[in-house]
Amino acid sequence: MSTSARTDSRLTYDDFLLFPDDGQRHELIDGEHYVTPTPVLRHQRLLGRLHLAVANYLVANPGHGEVLLSPFDIVFSKWDVVEPDLMFIARDQYILTEKNIVGAPALVVEILSPSTRKRDQNLKLRLFEKHGVREYWMVDPDHDTVTVDRLDEVGAFTRSGVFGVDAVLSTPLLPGWALPLGQLFA
């Protein structure tokens, strides 16, 4: 009986480091390469408002953690490297390096776009759950909603809700923080 060695043809973080610096977002999910074009104006406005709201909270409440914007890599494994729109690293996490985040941030936010919607809602949802991201927010500029998934006690995402412009977004990760979504989507 002959045996043959199976070769793993998935791309790795070493391959990722060789991708061109072309202004587009390059990511690996299970070794498959995904490229996302530069975001549109509404995406950037939503991201800016959300970052400002979290950053202002952290300035007023020092010691809770740090918020970062893309492009900044999260390295989950040698086959999984992503650049979410916004990441919050809680004070109890020691995963931040000068070059990247190694492990699961407490919070990851993606702003959905036509080119990333399915990937963000499916592949990335499963990836973030698998690696232990505590909360995942999907901001939908087409419907002015934020979908919140939180990791439960058994390590699975539970949908906390889909919140519209009349709602106030909050999270146990940032005690006392609240963002009226009417302000986000204004």
CB atoms within 10 A of CB 11: 18
Q: What is the mean pLDDT of the chain?
A: 94
Please give the full DSSP string across 32-50, using - where no structure is assigned.
EEEEEPPPPHHHHHHHHHH
% of the chain exceeding 70 in pLDDT: 97
Q: Which distant-in-sequence residues (6+ apart) come within 8 Å of 169 by Cβ? A: 137, 146, 148, 163, 178, 179, 180, 181, 184
**CB-based contact 74:81 (threshold 8 Å):** yes
Q: What integer is the mean pLDDT of 108-136?
A: 97
Architecture of the CATH domain 39-184: Alpha-Beta Complex (3.90)
pLDDT of 2 reads 47
Quote the pLDDT of residue 6. Answer: 58
